[in-house]
Each structure stands twice: as C-alpha cells, then as structure tokens.
Amino acid sequence: MGILTMVEDRPTPKSVYNWRVYVSAMTASFAACMIGYTTSFIGTTVNLDSFKEEFGLDKLSDSGASLIQANIVSLFQAGAFFGSIFAYGTAYYAGRRITLWTFVSVFIVGVCITFASIGGHIGPMYAGRVISGFGVGGCTMIVPIYISEIAPPAIRGRLVGTYELGWQIGGLVGFWINFGMSQSVPYGRNQWLIPFAVQLIPAGIVLIGSLIFLKETPRWLWTRGRREQGVENLCYIRQLNPNDTYILEEIEMMDLQINDLPTGFIKPLRMAFSDNKVLWRLFLGHMLFVLQNFAGINAINYYSPTIFRTMGVTSTETVELMTGLFGVVKCIMTVLWLTILIDKLGRRTLFISGGIVGAILMFIIGALIATAKDNTGQGLNSQGIATIFMIYLWTCIYITSWNGTPWVVNAEMFSQATRNVGQVGASMANWLWTFVIARVTPNMVASMGKNGFGMYFFFGSITALAVVFTWFLIPETKSVPLDRMDDLFAARPVRAAQKIVMEELARNTLEFSKIDRKEEISLAQIEKAKETEEASQSERQSD
C-alpha cells in the first residue's frame, strides 16, 4: 500500500474528492499559517536593534530588557489560552464558520492595535498582543474541528494534517522574515514594523476566503435542527445530488450519530467531567502537552536568537540566517512526519523513541555548553558549531515525535460526544504551558549556569520522564477504531493494549464470518430442500 493510499470505509464516488473540499481545508488551514508565522517571527523581531532602539530597550539593563521582551512574547499566549476557552461557546452557538471568521477578525484588530505602539509606546504593544493571541487561541480550537467535519473519511487525516503543515509553513516564513528585512530594508522602524504587518496577509486570506469558499459544516447544522440546509451544504461539499446513494448513506449515519450525542451546551461538559474514563483521558492529554512544551521546543522557537548568541554567534545577520534554517528543518521534518512516520510507526513508538534520543541529545547540548571555553568577541568556535549541529539534530527528532503527535492522540482518544471538550482541553493546555515557557526561558538562560547550560539538562530530564510516562500510561492508538477506545484504555498492560484490542477485533471478525458462513450453508440447505420438495410434488402430480 502506498504512502498516500486512501483507505475508504465504503465505495466512494470520485467526485467526493473534489476541489471544494480541498480548497475549504486549505482556506481554513491558512489560519494555521497565521498562527505559525505570528508565533515564530516575534522572537527574532524583538531582538532587532531597530526594535530595541524604538522601545528604549537598549537603554535598559539586560534583565529589564529581557522582562519587556518576555512580556511581549508571553502575553500573546495568555490571550490564546482564554481564546481557546471562549471558542467552545461560539462554536456551539454561532457555528464553525462564523467562529473562525470572528476569531480571525479579533486577531486582525489585535495586530492593528500593535501599530499604535509606533514611537515606543509599549502599552498598545501589550494590548495588541493579548487581543491577537485571543484570536489565535480560538482558531487553534476551531480549525481542526471544521476540517474534520467536512472531510471524507478516507482523506480526513490528510486534510487535518494540513493544519500542522500550515503551522510549520507559517513558521518558516516567520523565521526568515527578519533575515530578509536586514538584507533589503534600511535600518530603521520599517525593519520591525513590516514583520508585524505581514501577519495581516494570511489573516486576510482566511477572512475573505471564509466568506467566499467556506460553507457551514453539515454536522453543526444537524445539531441545530437545520437539517435541510445541512443536506444542501453536504451535497455542495461532496459535489453530489441529494438522491445519490453516498449522500443518503452519509445522511443516515449522521442521523444515527447525532441522536446518540448529548444535546445542548452544558451536557457534553457534564458528561466529560462526570465520567472517570473521560477525566482520565483529559488528564493524559493535558500531560502530553506539559511534556511537549517542557521538552524545550518553544524555548527555541521564541528565543533562538538569544540561544544562538550564547554559543558564540555575534553577527545579527548570522543569527537571523541560523534561525531561518531552524524553520526549514522544522518544515521538512513535519512533511516527513505527516506523510510517513505517524501512520507507519505509530504514536507510542514515536513518543518513546523520540523521547529517548531527544533526552540524550539535550544532555549532550548541556554538556557542550557547560564545558565550552569563554570565547567572547572571538566568534563561533568548533565547540559552538557542534552545539548548534546538535540543536538542529534534536529539532529533527522532536518534530518527528513530540511536536504534532500529541494533537493526533488527543483527537483519537475521545468519543464523538466529548471530542469538542477534548479539543478545548488540548488548546488550553498547549497555550497555558507555552505561556509558562515563554515567561521562564529568559530567566533560565540567565540563571541556570554559564550560558544557561542547566536549562538543557532540565529539558533533557523532563524528556526522559516523558518516556517513562508514555511507557506506563499511553497505549498505541494507531488503527484502533474510535468506538473501541474505552477498551483500549482499559486494557492492561498498557504496552500491549493495542495488541489485545486488535486481537479481540480479529476474533470477533472471524466469529462473525463463521456465523455468516453457517447462515449461508443453512440457506443453501433450505433452498435445496425446497427444490427437492418441489420436485417431489411435481412427480406426484404427474403420476
């Protein structure tokens, strides 16, 4: 079977895989480009000399300047945390499409407010970052849900994967933007102002595209009792007429699924927090994002210029170039993870293998920095080069294991009834711990030994704990049907849970096939008996 082979749950007309579903997914995924860019460009931008001069950071002590830079970075995550919570309500009452449009609009307002900081006014910068973060938090909650609800089953994973890919593409541009500014824009305000303005490009594409290309998801319309419009949108997205067999089957499945779901705004929350099995999975999902963030990736994302300078890189141009290469590595590894590794190796295998190698590399990086000789003013030496190479290698391992995989596991381990609650929990956990890392990283670099070498030992230790956590508590979810997740998380030992469930499924399938075979034989015997009886009656009548 090929890497991109589609596995269909039933015979599917080719027209289902049409341009509308792909354009809809890509339009929504531009929100991920927006998120990736805005979380990547800021770390380098606040370190530009022109930015420091504009806001007077060059006149402050190192600790004072670091505090303001950390505020600019981390207030964004604080806004995103609350945005992801608020999106749950708007997604229920207003719908997926309007929610996406609303939060992108909020993001644009926040970006525009940051422009009022021209002249060194830090207040509008803080306010704009909080508001734009609020918009981003809502987008991280709603975009995966929107894509999963419009996608045909055979390409659902691929289309949802475009969200992660869009995030990395946006991040790639964000990491390179300041290098481009330093090469093509004269020193001054425009060097930092243009990267802020570029945030409006992907946001504008989503804003306009959501009005032109996006339809409300049929599933949400079903839950609101707007069945006729739901059928209309389903036919548009699938490019089929209402009487097509595929459409009729999908309508029937949606009717059955919606009837089984808890209705209302509160009931899914009550169901999630009153069921110990769901609470346990919410805890596991939250811990995956704790471990993901404390592996060290967001420290490098936001403070890569500072980190590269601690290794002896003195040229601003070189720092920007190396930060851009960091973005290239992340993007390439994301494509590898998306197209091959996640489905070939499985989630648990990636967690454990990536955690082991990642922890070792973090310890090596910490040791190299701890034993490095003072090279102040002399540029990058061989030990610094080796350290930077190890950081790039660690990035390759991390991106293909702990970067996107927690999102996949979180989406798989909840039932349809509690999946939205699980997605909100994932977004909240992600932004909460990203905020914590953004706040503490400058202090860790400054206080944990020479050039912050202790920070890498800390990240390596957490990653080693992540391996233990996964080994004992996280089962393999690959290939397990969503309706068997309760069995998967109940099976013991955890390391063999997938095998136990899949063997049980195989036995059930075999038993059903035997029953079907017996029924076929019985039917054949009945038919043969009928034929014999009819033949006997014919003979008696002829006599």
The residue that leads in pLDDT, 519 or 417, is 417
CATH number (domain holding residue 182): 1.20.1250.20
Residue 529 — pLDDT band, cuts 50, 70, 90? low
Query: Does some domain include residue 507?
Result: no
The confidence score (pLDDT) of residue 11 equals 63
Q: Are residues 157 and 304 in the same domain?
A: no
Does the bond joining 152 to the residue before it have cis omega, within 30 degrees of 0? no
Mean pLDDT (the chain, rounded): 84
Query: Does some domain include residue 246?
Result: no
Q: Are residues 201 and 345 in the same domain?
A: no
Q: How far apart are CA 50 and CA 47, in angstroms?
A: 8
DSSP string, 282-313: HHHHHHHHHHHHTTTHHHHHHHHHHHHHHTT-
Q: Count other Cβ atoms within 10 Å, centred on residue 71.
A: 18
- Residue 200: exposed, middle, or buried by beta-carbon count in 10 A (0-12, 13-18, 19+)? middle
Question: Of 214, 236, 251, which marks where a domain is finished?
Answer: 214
Query: Does some domain include residue 481?
Result: no
Question: Of 214, 240, 270, which marks where a domain is finished?
Answer: 214
Q: How far apart are CA 384 and CA 455, in angstroms?
A: 17
Q: Are residues 205 and 283 in the same domain?
A: no
- CB contact at 8 A, 483 and 508: no
Q: How far apart are CA 33 and CA 402, in angstroms?
A: 20
Query: Does some domain include residue 204?
Result: yes
Query: Does some domain include residue 489?
Result: no
Query: Does some domain include residue 183?
Result: yes
Distances (CA, A) of 322 to 43, 110, 196: 13, 29, 21
Residue 34 — pLDDT band, cuts 50, 70, 90? very high
Query: Does some domain include residue 466?
Result: yes
The confidence score (pLDDT) of residue 122 equals 93
The confidence score (pLDDT) of residue 322 equals 80
Q: Are residues 183 and 293 in the same domain?
A: no
Scanning the structure block, which residue is given the tokens 């570029």? 198
Give the mean model confidence (pLDDT) for residues 522-539.
60
Secondary structure of residue 55 in the 3-state scheme: coil
Q: Which of 163-172, 442-451, 507-516 has the lowest mean pLDDT?
A: 507-516
Q: Are residues 70 and 143 in the same domain?
A: yes
Question: Of 470, 492, 521, which marks where a domain is finished?
Answer: 470
161-191 residue pLDDT tens: 788 888 889 988 988 887 888 788 888 899 9
Secondary structure of residue 129 in the 3-state scheme: helix
Give the mean model confidence (pLDDT) for residues 404-408.
86
- CB contact at 8 A, 72 and 42: yes
The confidence score (pLDDT) of residue 371 equals 86
**CA dihedral over 274, 277, 282, 284, signed as positive or negative:** positive
The confidence score (pLDDT) of residue 65 equals 85
- CB contact at 8 A, 236 and 215: yes
Give the mean model confidence (pLDDT) for residues 421-441.
87
Return the H-helix or E-strand segment holding 247.
helix 245-260
The confidence score (pLDDT) of residue 110 equals 97
Secondary structure of residue 476 in the 3-state scheme: coil
pLDDT at 86 over 80: yes
Residues of the chain with pLDDT > 70, as a percent, come to 86
Residue 205 — pLDDT band, cuts 50, 70, 90? very high
The confidence score (pLDDT) of residue 511 equals 65
Q: Are residues 294 and 160 in the same domain?
A: no
The confidence score (pLDDT) of residue 472 equals 95
Give the mean model confidence (pLDDT) for residues 432-453.
82
Q: Are residues 445 and 306 in the same domain?
A: yes
Work out how many domains the chain is built from and give that number: 2
The confidence score (pLDDT) of residue 9 equals 45
Q: Are residues 193 and 325 in the same domain?
A: no
Rg (CA), the chain: 27
Query: Hey, what amino acid is at 278?
Result: V
Q: Count other Cβ atoms within 10 Å, centred on residue 541.
A: 7
Left if phi > 0, otherwise alpha if psi is -120 to 50, otherwise beta: which for 225? left
pTM of model > 0.85: no
356-399 residue pLDDT tens: 999 999 999 999 888 877 655 566 678 878 888 999 999 999 99
Q: Are residues 160 and 292 in the same domain?
A: no
Q: Are residues 180 and 306 in the same domain?
A: no
Residue 540 — pLDDT band, cuts 50, 70, 90? low
Query: Does some domain include residue 176?
Result: yes
For the chain, the first-to-last Cα distance in angstroms comes to 64
The confidence score (pLDDT) of residue 527 equals 62
Q: How far apart are CA 507 and CA 186, in angstroms?
A: 70
Q: Are residues 423 and 282 in the same domain?
A: yes
Q: Are residues 182 and 282 in the same domain?
A: no
> What is the domain extent for residue 70?
23-214
- CB contact at 8 A, 358 and 391: no
